[in-house]
Structure 1
Amino acid sequence: MIGSLMMCVSVLVLLFGMLAGIAMGIQHDFTLGPAHAHLNLVGGVLLFLFGLYYRLVPEAGSMLLARIQGWLHIVGGTLFPAGVAVVLLKGPSFEAAPIVGSLLVVVAMTLFTVVVFRTSRA
């Protein structure tokens, strides 16, 4: 279940990220380039890879830890690049958003590491 949710959210995030990239290209304004890159990589690609792992290793996806990890990454993976965008547009007084978002992503990655080691077939 969490794997499917992560993959669905991922493709929506990637679609939004691609459209944002096209809009930046049309306007010849790449101010939000760092936010765009983080949105696609952290919010889209990583989320899809996590979801794929949970689909390929069903016992991993059924763990409570996986659901916690998934939701933390969904929130952090969107808050982090959104926060970067706000800082780029409004200034450093908004730095709390990307800091909190990035910390959520790191916690989610740590939980994913635990899940992988617990379910590894090596």
Structure 2
Amino acid sequence: MRDIAFIFFLAAVVCVTSGMGCGIQMAISEDHLLAPAHAHLNLVGWTTLALFGLYYRLTPAAAQGILPRVHAGLAILGVAFMTPGIAMVIVGGSPALASAGAILTLASMLLFLVTVARYGLGAAA
């Protein structure tokens, strides 16, 4: 199985590729109604997930055990729920999916905060 840094980077690249597709579709159609969903997909999906992957690559001790996998699950599910949830709210739907995604994303970031506080940054000297 691939390591946790790879999982985060793979998810990040899927997000940015999807985000680019959404951006191109908005540009071609000249309909930017869903720009907030597109922005969250790129910011939370591409940028945040990629930064998590970099952290775990630079801090190997933090990449061990079950917590990094829980972190990945929360982070990836957060993006997967939040982005379409935001789009649904924009077109008049329920905020439930966006809210669930936001809560998962917050839980992911809180777990990352604990991880960074515990392991610091970089390999142990």
User: For this structure pair, what is the TM-score category when the shorter chain's length is used for normalisation?
Assistant: over 0.9
Corresponding residue of 1:105: 105
Corresponding residue of 2:68: 66
Are 1:31 and 2:33 counterparts?
A: yes
Structure 1 residues without counterparts, runs of 5 or longer:
none
Q: Indicate if the aligned counterparts of 2:82 and 2:102 stay in contact, CA closer than 8 A.
A: yes
Alignment CA distance shift 1:33-1:5 (3 Å): same
Tell me the secondary structure at the aligned position of residue 30 of structure 1. coil
Corresponding residue of 1:114: 114
Q: Indicate if the aligned counterparts of 2:59 and 2:121 stay in contact, CA closer than 8 A.
A: no
Corresponding residue of 1:53: 55
Aligned alpha-carbon RMSD (Å)? 1.3
Equivalent residue pairs, number: 120
Q: Indicate if the aligned counterparts of 2:56 and 2:63 stay in contact, CA closer than 8 A.
A: yes
Per the TM alignment, residue 50 of structure 1 is displaced from its structure 2 partner at its CA by 0.3
Query: In 2, distance between residues paired with 1:121 and 1:97?
Result: 33
| Structure 1 consecutive aligned stretches of length 4 or more whose deviation exceeds 4 Å | none
TM-score scaled by length of structure 2: 0.91
Q: Which amino acid aligns with 1:44?
A: W
Query: In 1, distance between residues paired with 2:112 and 2:60?
Result: 14
Per the TM alignment, residue 63 of structure 1 is displaced from its structure 2 partner at its CA by 3.2
Alignment CA distance shift 1:121-1:15 (3 Å): closer
Query: In 2, distance between residues paired with 1:73 and 1:121?
Result: 20
Q: Indicate if the aligned counterparts of 2:4 and 2:53 stay in contact, CA closer than 8 A.
A: yes
Percent identity of equivalent pairs: 41
Corresponding residue of 1:18: 20
Q: Which amino acid aligns with 2:64?
A: S
Query: In 2, distance between residues paired with 1:15 and 1:36?
Result: 11
Structure 2 residues without counterparts, runs of 5 or longer:
none
